[in-house]
Amino acid sequence: MPTKYFITGILLALLAACQLDADEAYFPVNEAIVMMADRPDGFRQLWHIDATGIHTDWEATLGLADADLSDMTTTGDQLWISSGENSMLYLVDVKDEQVSQTFELGTFQPHFICNGLDYLLLADTVEKRLGFWGKASEKMVHEIEVEVIPGQAIYESDKFYVQIGNRQVAIYREQALAQLNEVTFDHPIYNLQLDRAGRIQVITHADSQLYAAEISYNSNQLKREEVPTVYQKIQFSPYLRSSFGKEWLDDVSLEEGWVRTPPVRRRLLSGAEDFWIDFFEAKAYIQRNDSLLELDIRDKTILRAVPFSAKILRVWTLKNFVDE
- Across the chain, which distance is largest between two alpha carbons, in Å? 61
| CA pair distance 210, 41, nearest whole angstrom | 27
Residue 323 has pLDDT above 50, yes or no: yes
For residues 288-311, give the mean pLDDT: 95
From 274, 265, 293, 266, select the one nearest 233 (Cα to Cα): 274
Residue 2 has pLDDT above 60, yes or no: no
How many other C-beta atoms lie within 10 A of the C-beta of residue 11?
Answer: 11
Residue 198 has pLDDT above 60, yes or no: yes
Percent of the chain scored above 70 by pLDDT? 90
From 191, 180, 185, select the one nearest 217 (Cα to Cα): 180
List the domain boundaries for the chain: 70-191+209-229
How would residue 319 be classed by pLDDT, with cut points 50, 70 and 90?
confident
CATH number listed for the domain at residues 70-191+209-229: 2.130.10.10
Residue 265 has pLDDT above 80, yes or no: no
